Structure formats: C-alpha cells, structure tokens
Amino acid sequence: MKLTIERSALLRALGHVQNVVERRNTIPILSNVQLVADGAGLSLTATDLDLAIVETVPCEVQTPGGTTAPAHILHDIVRKLPDGAQVELDYGAEDGRLVVRAARSKFALS
C-alpha cells in the first residue's frame, strides 16, 4: 500500500476513529486502526466490539492495499507534522512496517 494524503484530511479522520479505540484493551488489535487504500481513497476503520466507525478520505493511491497501525500513535505522529504537509503512507508487506513520511520527517511503525 502506498498513498499520499493531505495532513489535515488524515488528521480529521484519525481524530474521529481514534475516539472509538480504547487505550487499555485486553485484545491488542482493538487499539489499532485499519487502513485500506483503493480507488475510493483511504478507508479508516476502528472498533471496540460494541461500536465501529468507518471514515473514507480522498487521497492519491499509488499502490492499493491495507494494514493496521496503532491508532493513538499514528494520530500523535500526524498531529505533530507541519500544517499543509503532504503525508505519504507506505506499507511494505516484505518488512511489515508502515512508513509515514512528510517534509523531512520519517516514522516507521511495526
């Protein structure tokens, strides 16, 4: 999965979906947000098993695909990026890491 998205659009969507995710969870995957990139844009999905939220954001998808990432960590990273930045999300299945790039910043989440 590889895509480019505007910081403000991604931050708004992450802000919505992270409200469903609990910080302390007995099931670790529930602290993650599912990211799926396709022709419709980027879909972000989160659940606490009682409530689920799906948010779709337009973006430029170079390679369709999907992964999960820790919701609160990803939100904190995107929040601290510069205003107006173009954020690149790149998930390589071979190394299992989601790389977040914007301006001179680069973060790798596994």
Cross-strand partners of 19 = none
Residue found by looking up tokens 């690149």 in the block: 88
pLDDT in tens, 45-81: 999 888 999 999 999 999 999 999 999 999 999 999 9
Q: Which residues contact 28 (CB under 8 A, 6 or more apart)?
A: none
Strands of 32-38's sheet in order across: 52-57, 41-47, 32-38, 65-70
Q: Which two tokens stand for residue 87?
A: 């954020």
- The DSSP H or E segment spanning 11 is helix 7-18
pTM of the predicted model, to two decimals?
A: 0.92
All structural domains of the chain, each given as residue ranges with its CATH number in brackets, are: 2-109 (3.10.150.10)
Predicted confidence at residue 88, as pLDDT, reads 97
> Would you say 18 and 45 are in contact if contact means Cβ atoms under 8 Å apart?
no
